[in-house]
Structure 1
């Protein structure tokens, strides 16, 4: 079994249950900006929101921070509580840790917010560490790769046999950049074929299947 297992957060551990897409839509409306189509909103779950607001929602660069501030306030107030762990995922993580693996979170969500979300959902105690973007999201660069690297550096004794688990292509790309395999989960926000095209080592459709796959070295 892998000695270090890194999990993405939204779309992998936790179902945002519309909190992210609805929150983005509400923030855009509050600032008099157009709301993109549903497929574009879905695509905004996972990548850095600063980048997605510009590239997918067409928010002018000088207005990104005000939209982001409005969105984050709503997410903290009600969005985190709306989210739900995916079926069986807590049991899967607990079982992996019980078998001796170091289990950690690597997300492009701001690290402080990831910590809060995991606490609200009663999941924080399952993970040895949490790694995410800086509090100042406009300063976040490099995508998922440096976040995964930070997790590897935090757990050097286990980093020689590590794997990433995620639901979007940037999870796969960040893992590949660090020389890791990536297991793609089919219950998240990837478009059809996205994970396969990105080079995911394998694709699973349930937490039980994920536990079975991670039980042996890829």
Structure 2
């Protein structure tokens, strides 16, 4: 829990809030791990839950490379197989909103804050999932990976800022993994790290503020 006196008031004054998607807005962890397990087993790889959790957050290609020691070409083909299976089998019931996300989005909207999504998920898939959750009108844009133009979280954040026509000084990022923090900082944007996804204890030590829930995020942003 973060005491009021410890909350950086500068974040309350920022007019734009960027959100990560997976593990921050929507609970996609189960669907991601189930789909990845299926494509890995088809290749004769039996993954552990600990290995699969390493895929939650970073881009899938680099996640497969790091978690399973496969070549870049193999990681690319695994990612393609994963995306095809995910699109065929995953429904909105598999990625419900994280607790108190609807409340936070309502409060930010009432406060007149501008919102967008910057994700490491492939952009077309992220847009489809946002639409299925009924959130399309909530966000000015959804920026995700779009090879070869956009390959990293920093790329997604950079292009979201450009699309919205805002400077880093106007923006705060909310994310659940270290790559969200690193991507935001690479663009000069402060980041609120929230332990709603797969982050390990201490993972958000590099964040500007660390929160345990979306209610705490709402307090940090001055809307609760």
Q: Residues of 2 paired with 1:27 and 1:41: CA distance?
A: 12
Provide the residue aligned with 1:187 in structure 2: 196
Cα displacement (A) at 1:140: 6.6
Provide the residue aligned with 1:24 in structure 2: 36
Deviates more, 1:10-19 or 1:207-216: 207-216
Tell me whether 1:124 sits opposite 2:136 in the alignment: yes
Cα displacement (A) at 1:80: 4.1
Provide the residue aligned with 1:206 in structure 2: 213
Q: Is the 8 A contact 1:19 1:80 kept in 2?
A: no
Relative to 1, partners in 2 of residues 1:142 and 1:71: Cα closer, same or farther, differing over 3 Å? Answer: closer
Relative to 1, partners in 2 of residues 1:43 and 1:6: Cα closer, same or farther, differing over 3 Å? Answer: same
Cα displacement (A) at 1:67: 1.9
Q: Is the 8 A contact 2:145 2:151 kept in 1?
A: no
Give TM-score scaled by structure 2 length: 0.87
Tell me whether 1:50 sits opposite 2:61 in the alignment: yes
Q: Residues of 1 paired with 2:136 and 2:167: CA distance?
A: 20
Tell me whether 1:85 sits opposite 2:97 in the alignment: yes
Provide the aligned C-alpha RMSD in A: 1.8
Counterpart mapping for 1:34-45 below 5 A: 34-45=45-56
Q: Deviations over 1:38-88 (max 9, x none)?
A: 122112111010111111122333323332222112211222431111111
Q: Is the 8 A contact 1:4 1:158 kept in 2?
A: no
Cα displacement (A) at 1:142: 5.4
Q: Deviations over 1:11-40 (max 9, x none)?
A: 1000015100110010011122x1332122
Q: Residues of 1 paired with 2:65 and 2:29: CA distance?
A: 23
Specify which of 173, 180, 191 is matched with residue 182 of structure 2: 173
Which 4+ residue blocks in structure 1 deviate beyond 3 angstroms? 139-142, 157-160
Query: SS at 1:85's partner residue?
Result: coil
Deviates more, 1:73-82 or 1:57-66: 57-66
Unpaired runs of at least 5, structure 2: 1-12
Query: SS at 1:183's partner residue?
Result: strand
Q: Is the 8 A contact 1:42 1:189 kept in 2?
A: yes
Provide the residue aligned with 1:161 in structure 2: 170
Aligned residues: 210
Q: Residues of 1 paired with 2:149 and 2:128: CA distance?
A: 19
